[in-house]
């Protein structure tokens, strides 16, 4: 035998674990508000973002919610 050092196999390091991007949560359903029309006695449930237009046309909120 010779005194030469043996060549060892290259050391393979494990790849660092990368966090996978989490799936985005589904957006919540748009909020709706119940409105009533005093003259027509109708009831409507428009989207929360459209309430201002409905209120301008004479519709009113059915309830004040948690208002005191």
The tokens for 52 are 């201002």
pLDDT tens-place string over residues 4-49:
666 777 777 788 787 777 777 777 777 888 889 888 888 989 888 8
Which one has a higher pLDDT value, 28 or 50?
A: 50
Which one has a higher pLDDT value, 65 or 27?
A: 27
3-state secondary structure of 27: coil
Task: Tell me the C-alpha to C-alpha distance, in Å, between residue 11 and each of 4, 17, 31, 47.
Answer: 20, 18, 58, 62
Domain ranges, ordered by start, for the chain: 29-68
pTM for this predicted structure: 0.48
């Amino acid at each position: 035998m010779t005194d030469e050092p043996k060549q060892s196999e290259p050391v393979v390091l494990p790849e660092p674990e990368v966090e996978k991007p989490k799936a985005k949560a589904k957006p919540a359903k748009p909020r709706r508000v119940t409105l009533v029309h005093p003259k027509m006695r109708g009831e409507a449930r428009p989207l929360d973002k459209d309430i201002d237009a409905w209120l301008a046309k004479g519709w009113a909120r059915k309830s004040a919610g948690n208002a005191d």
